[in-house]
Amino acid sequence: MGIRERLSGNEAAAIAMKQINPDVVAAFPITPSTEIPQYFSTFVSNGQVDTEFVAVESEHSAMTACIGAEAAGARAMTATSANGLSFMWEQIYIASSLRLPIVLSLVNRAVSGPLNIHNDHSDAMGVRDSGWIMLFSENNQEAYDNLLMAHRIAEHKDVLLPLMVCQDGFITSHSIENIELLEDDKAKAFVGTYKPEHYLLNKEEPIAIGPLDLQAHLFEHKYQQATAMRNAKKVIAEVSKEFEELTGRKYSFFEEYKLEDAEIAIVCMNSTAGTTKFVVDQLRKKGIKAGLLKIRMFRPFPTEEIAKALSNVKAVAVLDKADSLNGAGGALFEDVTSAMFVNKVQVPTVNYVYGIGGRDTTSNDIESVYNDLIEIANNGGTNNFYRYLGVRK
């Protein structure tokens, strides 16, 4: 029986970190993720964890410290948002290229400029191809659960890639929700002990970390990263299944909400899924067969499974909480449509960029998307593929 609590998303993340009890946490404060290392530092000062907490001078230094710790054989974690992740950018790529299973709690926020401290997904989308596994969380419970699964996934011998757990800034990070926690001993047993095979402090195997890697080898090393990312798909499924057996909470690559017989469907990530579920329920009462596909695993991207899940609907809308500024839709839209095309699934699909800089997205907004999908389904398609939801023109 789990422990029932009322926690914000940041508190839930910090408690997951406490139960994991990593060897090193290096962090620098930035809204809206500041509370995570703040809460965790109290666990350190109170002697509730054995962690070495490193208060660094910047986010770049935070990731650098995590890289050094992980390379030395320690389990390392951190947290950041938006511009903080941007400041880490160089080190984000180095962490993945060195195959270091660092875990990062990313509280999603708009990246400057202009300066905005509220939620969208531009920070995560900026590093989507950096070689990090990326899990998204609809609510506080999922943020907590994903963090408990993170090390099991990242540290697997067939993966060895860093992993970030995303949740929406302020919307979930600062909102208090009912949550069920694992008992500390069960959480500790589930996460397990980190036992790296290769690390700098192993006197029996002297190695170098981060050497110069020129034409003769870099391509092969990048291919190894790509292979590890593909391997992560199986590992994520296995760890999620084991977590379900322990807690009863089921996680897959994505959640299909009333999608079995749906004729129209929305694809989205993080907290917007909660609003969309409410709208789906309301439309179902009116006899409208609406459904939702909520992405949990964004990297690696589950192409075949998504294509199959959407194959029987008549129209799809993909919601992107970040604009790629490419004139051709957001990142999630590009991945979904590519998955459908490659797997020969032909369904009219449109993109909506929404919620930029924390712009509220209401149930009425979501319902308007479903109304558009009804029209698209009835007409057999559309010429307007790239759309904006809630923007003043």
- State both tokens at 175: 């909102």
From 230, 247, 264, give the residue that closes a domain.
Answer: 247
Inform me whether the pLDDT recorded for 240 exceeds 80.
yes
Clarify whether residues 202 and 305 are in a common domain. no
CATH of the domain at 81: 3.40.50.970
Average pLDDT over the chain, rounded to an integer: 97
Shared domain for 175 and 264, answered yes or no, is no
My answer on whether 238 and 265 are in the same domain is no
209 with 293, same domain: the answer is no
Kindly state whether residues 212 and 334 are assigned to the same domain.
no
Residue 374, judged by CB atoms within 10 A of its CB (0-12, 13-18, 19+), counts as: middle
Residues in CB range of 227: below 8 A, 6 or more apart: none
- Last residue in a domain, options 216, 247, 278: 247
Provide the CATH number for the domain around residue 258: 3.40.50.920
What are 359's strand-pairing partners? none
pLDDT of 210 above 90: no
My answer on whether 114 and 96 are in the same domain is yes
pLDDT band at 1 (very low <50, low <70, confident <90, very high): low
How do residues 318-340 score in pLDDT, each as one tens digit?
A: 999 999 999 999 999 999 999 99
Mean pLDDT of 231-236: 98
Place of tokens 């490659």: 342
Instruction: List pLDDT tens digits, range 149-161.
Output: 999 999 999 999 9
Locate all alpha helices (DSSP H) within 8-101, ordered by sequence. Answer: 9-20, 35-45, 59-72, 82-87, 89-97
Task: Give the model's pLDDT for residue 211.
Answer: 80
Residues 232 and 283 in one domain: no
Q: Which of 247, 271, 303 is the last residue of a domain?
A: 247
The band of 346, judged by pLDDT with boundaries at 50, 70 and 90, is very high
Say whether both 17 and 126 belong to one domain. Answer: yes
The residue range of the domain holding 98 is 3-247
Quick one: 100 and 63 in the same domain? yes
Same domain, 270 and 314: yes
What is the domain count for the chain?
A: 2
pLDDT above 80: residue 230 = yes
Spatial CA neighbour of 53 closest among 30, 87, 85, 22:
22
Same domain, 170 and 63: yes
> What does the pLDDT look like over 98-127, one tens digit per residue?
999 999 999 999 999 999 999 999 999 999
- Residues with Cβ within 8 Å of 200's Cβ and at least 6 positions away in sequence, in order, are 71, 72, 73, 207, 209
Over residues 264-291, mean pLDDT: 98
Q: Is the pTM of this model over 0.85?
A: yes
Taking only the tens place, the pLDDT of each residue in 256-276 is 999 999 999 999 999 999 999
Check residue 393 and give its pLDDT.
83
Task: Indicate if 157 and 279 belong to the same structural domain.
Answer: no
